[in-house]
Structure 1
Amino acid sequence: MPANMVSASPTPKEVESNEKWIQGDRSRHARWWYSTFHCVTAMIGAGVLSLPYAMAYLGWGPGTMVLAVSWCMTLNTMWQMINLHECVPGIRFDRYIDLGKHAFGPKLGPWIVLPQQLIVQVGCDIVYMVTGGKCLKKFVEMACTNCTPLRQSYWIVIFGSLHFFLSQLPNFNSVAGVSLAAAVMSLSYSTIAWVGSLAHGRVDNVSYAYKSTSSVDYMFRVFNALGQISFAFAGHAVVLEIQATMPSTPDKPSKIPMWKGAVGAYFVNAICYFPVALIGYWAFGQDVEDNVLMNLKRPEWLIAAANLMVVVHVIGSYQVFAMPVFDMLEKTMMKKFNFPPGILLRIVARSAYVAFTLFVGVTFPFFGDLLGFFGGFGFAPTSYFLPSIMWLAIKKPKRFSTKWFINWASIVIGVFIMLASTIGGFRNIVTDASTYAFYT
């Protein structure tokens, strides 16, 4: 065999380089407000614009109750995740999978946690591809009425192409500026959505009655609506990675600034979600679109600006959810395929991921149905009940105590939402796909 074909053992310097790449960026200098806008960017996204549509299937009472209960439940599980980050003295669980290994064991933990986290992150990025493309199309059509119209698929491709470049940013700290801009945009377009709906007023002959359809179809649509609401609470999948960027000392552990930032994010969450859901449903009733901005026509410049804000926001959101996936892909390629660390690894791994999410988004652009399906299948576990299960496994609260009951209530409700919305979302995708012309 030629000498250049012999696989030489890595030198100590190469081993050290590989380890540094695998370990990733370990600088921990983020401040509490970093967690606020990262969490806002992760949570407030495509889901907020579909909340009035979910209300149209749930109605005033059940819809408001589900939204309020979800807000309280996920705030509690967010608190649990933040406190479990350093539940073992001297050890920081910087990733969801690390905490899963500690809670369920090194073999079982990855099988429980990793699939759910990947579903959330990849599912979000697929939905954001669709959302970004649709809103970019809407913006250009409103801003340039004489322009030649393009297929929706082309707009999704145009939006997705930007991420081939942004995905080369190395870590969370490097996307802080993008994330901050995205958080500001989310607050802005949510405000435009509910203020625009309020200014529009109720449409003629508005109806708050349940949509007229078969009882079986309606049941599945209700299930899907539960998934759409759970999709709106998505920050848990990346909360440990966000907290990992913060400094921590025995006197001031990272959970203090992280919780401060999370509370700020949930305050922003509340002033976005509840007005959009309630006022959007009040204005358009059962005829509201699965993206409430599509119902608003006047003033055109403001609605066009709101659609552009959505585009900016989902650009940042895509990167926030993609960063942990990039990290996992690069480590897998290095460990399983002996791919050398460096720029080529980053380009290949990240470009392949962007291409995959772009392809799926172009092929299945069912905005509302995708929200319901991914919301149930991935978001309900990671945001509603997996943190509670890990809390019971690690902290072991006294049986029948208040904390014990709260955690079991979260588990029962979360499992129901997961099963119902997954079934509803998948059935609706199949039903809608039968009437959809692909790649149009």
Structure 2
Amino acid sequence: MVGAGVLGLPYAMASLGWGPGVVILILSWVITLYTLWQMIEMHEMVPGKRFDRYHELGQQAFGEKLGLWIVVPQQLIVEVGVDILYMVTGGTSLKNIHDLACKKNCKSIKTTYFIMIFASVHFVISHLPNFNSITGISLAAAVMSLSYSTIAWTASVHKGVQQGVDYSYKGSTTTGKVLDFFNALGTVAFAFAGHNVVLEIQATIPSTPEKPSKGPMWKGAVVGYIIVALCYFPVALIGYYVFGNNVDSNILTSLQKPEGLIIAANAFVIIHVIGSYQIYAMPVFDMIESVLVKKMHFRPTRILRFTTRTVYVAFTMFVAITFPFFSGLLGFFGGFAFAPTTYFIPCIMWLAVYKPKMFSLSWCTNWICIILGFVLMILGPIGGLRAIIIEAKTYKFYS
């Protein structure tokens, strides 16, 4: 749940301001916890049947074909989008380590090369067969995400409030401020993004009519969300409090000292995104290979697996090198991909399946979440796209 999106939260706060920023963070935490509860409840809503995949839940709510068309494209966008962003994150963190460790007599190396170095790891480990084979990597990633979040806010406290700190909005024009606000909404949405794999996780929990899986799953989700709050809120609020609107799109780039600690934090980010890249890539590999074998009648050989996985890693690397814009990508993918799957599709499913009475508490709550999520889906990508265009103006492609 705690992903690299947490590193962009102080920058989002700089575009949202204190009041709206705190309200949006709390609202996002509450809404996504509510939609997570809905998915946990719907996992076994049909007696004797378990919905182990997001698209299976979609098919139950919307019908066999429509359910696939609504959910599968959204999931693909989420998974591919996250992998592209993690390529950028891994490359940026490698560059941060290089720049911090090598200040004298060192030639500056472009982020492009560091993204290629980061991608080289995935050209190897992407050929591991399944989720079980990346359990160790995944565990390390989980520990690392908690570690670098803690380092980010404790190092900010150690640094202290910067001289001449300014909490006014960054943009110089009203249009600029509004579009920065939109991008920040997408950045927050990206941070709250654990729903795509929640059903797969619940599927691993034993379930009986006396002790359904939703009991322990909900306890786990609550503990997870408390940890999320302990990571997200301090990083967002303390990072913004210390740096104001001068904070970088990645908080670790703003933090230069203590050098050893910040180098360690960047190393933790790299380990984390190596594991997380694979978590999001595995379902894509499965989908591509299934289509090639079942629909296009390719033989399921090692050569097929090697080719598809190598091409996918190369594709995400190429897009990351083309658009290595952390803030813009967070806002764009956060609004376009994460807002639907996290904020409002579970609510639409709930209304379709349970049909609560009009204007009842359940009906009103779900419609409020749907409206807010839909607004987020429209506004986030607009701000993100504009941020990418602005950064692209001064960026030399493939230089």
Q: TM-score, normalised by structure 1?
A: 0.88
Counterpart Cα distance in 2 of 1:256 and 1:344: 43
- Which runs of no fewer than 5 residues in structure 1 stay unpaired? 1-42
Q: Which moved more, 1:136-145 or 1:102-111?
A: 136-145
Query: Could you say which residue in structure 2 is the equivalent of 1:99?
Result: 57
* 1:411-430 alignment runs, 5 A limit: 411-430=370-389
- From 343, 346, 353, give the equivalent of 1:384: 343
The answer (yes or no) to whether the contact 2:171–2:180 under 8 Å persists in 1 is no
Counterpart Cα distance in 1 of 2:171 and 2:285: 44
- Which runs of no fewer than 5 residues in structure 2 stay unpaired? none
- From 38, 46, 65, give the equivalent of 2:23: 65
Instruction: Write the letter of the residue equivalent to 1:259.
Output: W
* 1:196-275 alignment runs, 5 A limit: 196-275=155-234
Counterpart Cα distance in 2 of 1:260 and 1:143: 42
* 1:18-417 alignment runs, 5 A limit: 43-145=1-103, 148-417=107-376
Counterpart Cα distance in 2 of 1:67 and 1:89: 36
Counterpart Cα distance in 2 of 1:383 and 1:172: 22
SS in 1 for 2:44: coil
- Number of positions where the alignment pairs a residue of Structure 1 with one of Structure 2: 398
Deviation at 1:418? 0.8
Instruction: Write the letter of the residue equivalent to 1:163.
Output: H
The answer (yes or no) to whether the contact 1:172–1:242 under 8 Å persists in 2 is no
Counterpart Cα distance in 1 of 2:205 and 2:106: 47
Query: Could you say which residue in structure 2 is the equivalent of 1:435?
Result: 394
Q: 1:246 to 1:439 in 2, by over 3 A?
A: farther
Counterpart Cα distance in 2 of 1:82 and 1:344: 38
Deviations 1:21-58 (A, max 9, x none): xxxxxxxxxxxxxxxxxxxxxx3222101101010011
Counterpart Cα distance in 2 of 1:300 and 1:78: 38
SS in 2 for 1:177: helix
Deviation at 1:212? 4.0
The answer (yes or no) to whether the contact 1:241–1:324 under 8 Å persists in 2 is no
Q: 1:87 to 1:428 in 2, by over 3 A?
A: same
Deviation at 1:428? 2.1
Q: 1:256 to 1:341 in 2, by over 3 A?
A: farther
Counterpart Cα distance in 2 of 1:240 and 1:348: 29
Counterpart Cα distance in 1 of 2:199 and 2:374: 22
Q: Which moved more, 1:131-140 or 1:142-151?
A: 142-151
Instruction: Write the letter of the residue equivalent to 1:435.
Output: T
Instruction: Write the letter of the residue equivalent to 1:296.
Output: L
Counterpart Cα distance in 2 of 1:411 and 1:107: 22
SS in 2 for 1:107: helix
Deviation at 1:182? 0.7
Deviations 1:280-334 (A, max 9, x none): 0000001110001111111100000000000011111111111211111111111
Deviations 1:98-123 (A, max 9, x none): 11111111121112111111111111
Deviation at 1:432? 2.2
Counterpart Cα distance in 2 of 1:248 and 1:178: 27
SS in 1 for 2:64: coil
Which is greater in Rg? 1
Deviation at 1:243? 2.2
Counterpart Cα distance in 2 of 1:293 and 1:214: 28
Query: Could you say which residue in structure 2 is the equivalent of 1:15?
Result: none
Counterpart Cα distance in 1 of 2:55 and 2:189: 21
The answer (yes or no) to whether the contact 1:82–1:259 under 8 Å persists in 2 is yes
Counterpart Cα distance in 2 of 1:212 and 1:374: 22
Deviation at 1:260? 2.3
Q: 1:48 to 1:335 in 2, by over 3 A?
A: same
Q: Which moved more, 1:256-265 or 1:365-374?
A: 256-265
Q: Give the % identical residues.
A: 61
Q: Which moved more, 1:253-262 or 1:90-99?
A: 253-262
Counterpart Cα distance in 1 of 2:254 and 2:289: 42
Q: TM-score, normalised by structure 2?
A: 0.96
Query: Could you say which residue in structure 2 is the equivalent of 1:3?
Result: none
Counterpart Cα distance in 2 of 1:346 and 1:82: 33
Deviations 1:333-367 (A, max 9, x none): 11122122243332222222111111111110010
Deviations 1:252-273 (A, max 9, x none): 3222232222222211111000
The answer (yes or no) to whether the contact 1:210–1:286 under 8 Å persists in 2 is yes
Deviation at 1:170? 2.4
Deviation at 1:277? 0.3
The answer (yes or no) to whether the contact 2:327–2:387 under 8 Å persists in 1 is no
